[in-house]
Amino acid sequence: MTTFLDTTIDKLIENFDFLNDWEERFAYLIELGKKLPPLSEAEMTDEHRIHGCQASVWLRMLPQSDGTFDIHADSDAFIVKGLIAVLLLIYSEKTAEQILDTDSTATFERLGLDKHLSPTRRNGLHSMVSRIQALAAESTAQTV
């Protein structure tokens, strides 16, 4: 669950608008990332690793009884943990269909991440989104 982040994606966007510069925004992302519960060593396997990221990133999507997914992820880089927090706010506690229908690119644009991340961080962020969408698509294929 994303309640440990104590915010919503709308509140995150509002906070970003309030902060004056990108140094403050990156500091805020890092603080959000520090709130992520760490994955266990047993979860940090190649099966859960996201390739295409400069940093090491692991992600698990756990189906819940109500049809939604609880997403757990971790990284060895502080800023990437912050980006993971953004993704959790966007995708956690949604069904596979809702995940597939969500346009995270629009949220990244509203936050300015499309312009202020390095190309390698942008690629990594899109690799994480692709993995989340692929796992959601895989889950819908299994139920058909």
Q: For this structure, is 113 an active site residue?
A: no
The active-site residue out of 12, 29, 36, 53 is 53
CB 69 within 8 A of CB 99: yes
CB 44 within 8 A of CB 74: yes
3-state secondary structure of 63: strand
Residue type, 62: L
Q: From the CB of residue 144, how many other CB atoms can be counted at a distance below 10 Å?
A: 4
Tokens (6 digits) for 35:
């709130």
Q: Under the phi-then-psi rule, with left for phi > 0, alpha for psi from -120 to 50, and beta for the rest, what region is 56?
A: beta
CB 125 within 8 A of CB 88: no
Residues forming the active site = 53
